[in-house]
Amino acid sequence: MAIPSDNLKTNYLQMKKLKIPAIVLAMVLAMAACAPKVQTEKNGLPRLKVSENHRFLVDENGNPFFWLGDTGWLLFSKLNREDADKYLTDRANKGFNVIQIMMLHTLGAKNVYGDSALVGQNLSRPLVTEGNLFADTTQYDFWDHMDYVIDLAAEKGLYVGLVPVWGGNVTHGGVKNEEAASYSAWIANRYKDRPNIIWMNGGDIMGSDSIRIWKTIGSTINANDTSHLITFHPRGRMTSSVWFHNEDWLDFNMFQSGHRRYDQDDTEWAFGEDNYKYVEMDYAKTPIKPTIDGEPSYEGIPQGLHDTLQPFWKDEDVRRYAYWSVFAGGFGFTYGNSAVMQFYKPGDKGAAYGAKEYWTEAINDPGASQMQYLKKLMLSRPFLERVPDQSLIAGENGLKYDYLAAIRGNDYAFIYTYTGRNIPVQMGKISGQKVKASWYKPVDGTMTEIGEFENTGIHEFDPPGEPANGNDWVLILDSVK
């Protein structure tokens, strides 16, 4: 149904109070019917699918899709339509193409207009306003507002990763299995015709906690909506593959490498900040499924998450997580910013996790702008043929921050260093008698040619500057034809 503008609604209500003739009111209604609405069917945004080699995502035309996500978790509840437009425009301009959003943060969720999502906090009873929108002073219900934002995102070329209900609501006993089934069928049918949907089951939760309900949500959505991808967003330092890798409804894996330092990780795997190890673990599983870091350390959030007296993660840390995971074989990457994900704004009673600036300022934090250079680099060479290949490193890969991450195609190779340490390369891993070498700077996407080299033996490359955390570079090797 058409969504009339706020001004049109206001004008109509004012005319009604002034007893304007019915013919004029009819004209207003006709204007509303003809008012432009964002139409995903007309904007050419293609649906997504898994690539033939099952390592990546492509669009329905077979074009590579590099997922560059942002965590806009509370968008539906915290932003009005004008602010949603501001946020989505900014993210589209910075090269993002996926926004991850909670549909229901809580069962008592309301949006910025005061509209409740559910009747009596019952997941199986969405509160939907029926009938003529103009005749209803609440005009936009919770779901109408969600529709509007989803369509607005599509207009800007953005896909939305929708978490149906955040995990804590389920594990705390607020959702019964039959309610989850009813709700999942309802949202699947409501949004199955919109091309820019990606389903993200779970929501910061262990899949083993209430696993029956997570399987119900996944299978029910899949049964009612066969044209959209589905994954599972797990708890920190975990991956969806642990519980759901063999589920038919799980199209790709997602892991949350989380917000802890090496010395703060108390999990069994103890990967710490080495998020590439989650990729390697998922990469080795059969059947083959794509994988991605869907929630690494956020820019502007405390190391360890809860203690605001700890140092805060910076843009250089975000870059490290991004390049490490993608060069290990991840099909994309999700960036996050503490103030943005919660849309901290004036009037809020406080900020979670010690956020120090409002979201309108934090959208311009440096890490957000720097992510586009990873996306541009990965799409600059044949995307679907790339494979992680640590044999490009002659000698030790390095530990912790000194780790070197390598990936290649048939005619190119990329090697990432976070510290600017020397890179010993085993030549001959790509085609050609000679290779052209260049330095790529993740901070700003600039590239500097080094020269041409014989494609045999071992050659050591010395990045610009002195070795230090955050002096990160990508060595690019291209076959000379």
CA distances to 84, 139, 272, 373, 473 from 470, in Å: 33, 50, 18, 16, 9
What residues contact 353, with CB distance under 8 A and at least 6 apart?
301, 302, 305, 306, 308, 338, 342
d(CA 44, CA 284): 35
DSSP code per residue over 130-160: -S-TTT-TT-S-HHHHHHHHHHHHHHTT-EE
Whether 363 contacts 432, CB under 8 Å = no
What is the per-residue pLDDT for 17? 34
Query: What domains can you pick out in the chain, each with its CATH number?
Result: 1-37 (no CATH), 48-378 (3.20.20.80), 389-479 (2.60.40)
> Is 415 exposed, middle or buried, given 0-12, 13-18 or 19+ CB atoms closer than 10 A?
buried
d(CA 345, CA 360): 8
Residues β-bridged to residue 439: 448, 475
What is the per-residue pLDDT for 129? 86
What is the per-residue pLDDT for 42? 41
d(CA 406, CA 313): 24
d(CA 50, CA 183): 26
Which structure tokens are listed for 210?
């209430």
Q: Is the pTM of this model over 0.95?
A: no
Residue-by-residue pLDDT tens, the chain, 481 positions = 333 334 333 333 333 333 333 333 333 233 333 333 333 344 459 999 999 999 999 999 999 999 999 999 999 999 999 999 999 999 999 999 999 999 999 999 999 999 999 999 999 999 998 754 444 444 579 999 999 999 999 999 999 999 999 999 999 999 999 999 999 999 999 999 999 999 999 999 999 999 999 999 999 999 999 999 999 999 999 999 999 999 999 999 999 999 999 999 999 999 999 999 999 999 999 999 999 999 999 999 999 999 999 999 999 999 999 999 999 999 999 999 999 999 999 999 999 999 999 999 999 999 999 999 999 999 999 999 999 999 999 999 999 999 999 999 999 999 999 999 999 999 999 999 999 999 999 999 999 999 999 999 999 999 999 999 999 999 999 999 8
What is the per-residue pLDDT for 481? 86
